[in-house]
Structure 1
Amino acid sequence: MKIIDVRAYGIQTPVTTSFNWRKGLPGSGAVREQGILRIITDEGIEGIAVTQRAGMTVDYVQRRLKGMLIGKDPLLKEKLWHEIWEMDRLEEFQIMYMGLVDMALWDITAKKAGMPLYQLIGGNSDRVQAYASTVTYDTTEQFLQVADACIERGYRAIKLHAWGDARKDAKLCQDLRNHVGEEIILMYDGSAGFNLQEAIYLGKALEEADYHWYEEPMREFSIWNYKKLCDELTIPILAAETSDGCHYNAADFIVQGACDMIRTGTLLKGGITGSLRIAHLADSFGMKAEIHGGDQANVQLACGIPNNSFFEVLVWGKGDSIGFGYPDVDRDGYISAPQGPGIGYTFDWEEIEREANVQC
């Protein structure tokens, strides 16, 4: 099998419902971006991968990736993964692009095998429990109302993205625990908003409220700070979400005792290949490798490994306008993996080519 063509599409769509993150971070913006990679082979099998940038996707594919891929065997995923890793030494790819090609190659491989991806990479389950991951709201009352709506929808686990104020966030987290009771699993994501002292203060409040994990409270370039945080707290620290370096960096977090759970996921951790390396590395230490949110690719990954617990689903809006980033959650709060061959992406290419703002 050979790659005979590589195409990329960048789509920008106006956002009808915007939302906010913590103080200091930009919100959702006025435009939703989507980049689509399409790898075409001489056997008629196509591999598809999706990311969150439009123009950048087309630029990377046109300028660097298309030339290196044409004529290659798409089943040699390890070889191509390392070629892109080497190219990153000079290109300094934005983190989402370290695994974009790899995802499309795994899509081809699973289609060639006639299997859904989760079965091909190991197969642990055909479904995964979802948790509702909130955006940032203005008041405690709004957070509580959204939590009620999520529980009504079937979610049994909720994660907060709050204001980025350690004392206010601590009180919110305890208020939410009092509101939902002991049966609902709660997590907190600091979105790297705190220094070490603030992170310790907030972490102790989360311990009192019996939160399931404490995620990324500080920027992840300081492993020493994360080790200090782990030494101070008993709540599990989930880290290495946005740090560069894929499994090489994840290994440093683990062996330095700078996390209790490790983040993995196709979008930020080198595609399927990089994500599996992190998951298997964590498993060798008896550690959870929790999958970041996303689309079908991360659902397949979550169902393919044994040491992941949840799948993250973004929740925004209020009242009748509440929206969920992955709509196919059943009444028990689970997401099922697509069962057709490959990852499960389907596109109308004629429509995509008409609507793409940029393409190559």
Structure 2
Amino acid sequence: MKITNVEGISLAVPIKNAIKAPISIPHASELEKVVFQEYRTTLVKIETDEGITGYGECMVRLAPTATRDIVNYMKPILIGKDPTDTEYIWELLFGAMMNRGHYQGFYIEAISGIDVALWDIKGKALNVPVYKLLGGNSHPKIWAYASSIRFRGMETMLATAQNFVDQGFTAMKMKIGQGSETDVMAVAAVREHVGKDITLMVDANCGYDVKTALQVGKELEKYNIRWYEEPISPDDYEGYRRLSESLNIPIAAGEAHFLRYGLKDLIVKGKVDIIQPNVCRAGGFTECLKIHGLSSSFNVPYLTHTGSSSAVCIAASLHLAAALPDCFIFEDMQSDWSKDQKNPLRWDLTSLPIKSFKEGFIELEDKPGLGLEINEDVIQKHRLS
């Protein structure tokens, strides 16, 4: 089997009514009009001479056409290659920019989407789900948490929490980072509303400095928080170490990191308790298996990150979560940036390979590859030229 075509496809859906930042970002009043102006992603479509087509996703936050153009530029390297040679192809792609310092950013996101598409092809060719190729189904039923309760005022936040409970979730995550007093008050209110039996996590999206993160963390210890996610800047490894050694709440991070090299520093220097790489940002399945080997050697659980991506990334993350034995819970993205406009790249592009969801647990189907049926109408409607 040989690769015959490679295509990067950028999609964007403008958010019609301007929104305030639903998560913590620096300089929010200036940046929110760009960062949250649209739902966006870049897909990768790879075709073969045996009629098998694979899809992947490049997790992008800005300028999806930049990642698309990188994918298309690398097409000559991929044409004629055996798509099942995932390790060899990954090293070829990485080698093109390795000695130019591109260990993160758009280039690695492009490699990630290509790699995911190749594993989709591999699974389809062998007529097995990708999770079988990654090591088998370690979790016939995957515990899932609803993500996320966003910044939308207390009444809406509590209504969102109640909606998650009504859907059957037994765990959920809420956004913090608006300010220490506001955040602690919000966490206390959500905890009181959902009760002590719901597992609750918080995510600051790097919104604090170390002293504030420590102050908030001490207050959060009162509310039985399962983990404290990205409290500070991704590269402040000394700060992460201080938090990990000072708080009784597990510290989680890693969605902003790329490849095993950055994750190694987060584990060894930052002493985090949980890592959360995104398979469509951190190098695809090929690299994430290596990241998992690294984290497991330090007894640090690997949890998948999905974020505001399309359904392709969520599906890829589900396969990884099913395969990794220490991935004890899965991030099930249930809320969009805009509360009034759903994200069609998440909800309409393809259905997820989920057989059932009951009492907080997901059971996957056993369809080949990623198990997706891409809606071409959605692609054509939202495709960028």
TM surpasses 0.5: yes
Q: 2:244 aligns with which of 202, 210, 230?
A: 230
Q: CA deviation at 1:157?
A: 0.6
Write the deviation string for residues 237-278 of structure 1: whole angstroms up to 9, x where unpaired.
01122023x112212222235201111231221111122222
Question: When the two structures are superposed, what TM-score results if normalisation uses the length of structure 2?
Answer: 0.84
- Counterpart of 2:362 in structure 1 is 335
Amino acid at match of 1:22: S
Q: CA deviation at 1:38?
A: 1.1
The 2-side partners of 1:236 and 1:51 are apart by: 29
Q: CA deviation at 1:337?
A: 2.6
- Counterpart of 2:310 in structure 1 is none
Taking the TM superposition and a 5 Å limit, the aligned residue runs for 1:1-360 are 1-15=1-15, 20-22=22-24, 24=26, 25=28, 26=32, 29-53=36-60, 54-63=64-73, 65-89=74-98, 90=100, 92=102, 93-94=105-106, 95-123=108-136, 124-244=138-258, 246-256=259-269, 258-293=271-306, 294-316=313-335, 330-349=357-376, 352=379, 356-358=383-385
Write the deviation string for residues 110-141 of structure 1: whole angstroms up to 9, x where unpaired.
11211001112112123422211125233223
The 1-side partners of 2:341 and 2:166 are apart by: 12
Report the identity percentage: 29
Consecutive unaligned residues of structure 2, counting only runs of 5 or more, are: 307-312
Write the deviation string for residues 53-109 of structure 1: whole angstroms up to 9, x where unpaired.
54223311222x101111222121111112222223338341522411111111111
Amino acid at match of 1:118: Y
Q: CA deviation at 1:219?
A: 1.0
Residues matched between the structures, number: 355
The 1-side partners of 2:371 and 2:15 are apart by: 25
Q: CA deviation at 1:184?
A: 0.3
- Secondary structure of the residue that 1:112 maps to in structure 2? helix
Amino acid at match of 2:85: L
Would you say the 8 A contact 2:24–2:206 is kept in 1?
Answer: no
Would you say the 8 A contact 1:103–1:272 is kept in 2?
Answer: yes
> Which deviates more, 326-335 or 173-182?
326-335
Amino acid at match of 1:85: F
- Secondary structure of the residue that 1:99 maps to in structure 2? helix
- Secondary structure of the residue that 1:168 maps to in structure 2? helix
Structure 1 residues 317 and 253, CA, compared in 2 at 3 Å: closer, same or farther?
Answer: closer
> Which deviates more, 290-299 or 6-15?
6-15
Q: CA deviation at 1:185?
A: 0.2
Cα RMSD (Å) of the superposition? 2.6
- Secondary structure of the residue that 1:40 maps to in structure 2? strand
The 2-side partners of 1:346 and 1:201 are apart by: 47
The 1-side partners of 2:380 and 2:154 are apart by: 44
Structure 1 residues 141 and 126, CA, compared in 2 at 3 Å: closer, same or farther?
Answer: same
Q: CA deviation at 1:170?
A: 1.7
- Counterpart of 2:309 in structure 1 is none
- Secondary structure of the residue that 2:6 maps to in structure 1? strand
The 2-side partners of 1:176 and 1:302 are apart by: 27
The 2-side partners of 1:268 and 1:351 are apart by: 23
The 2-side partners of 1:98 and 1:259 are apart by: 26
Amino acid at match of 1:77: T
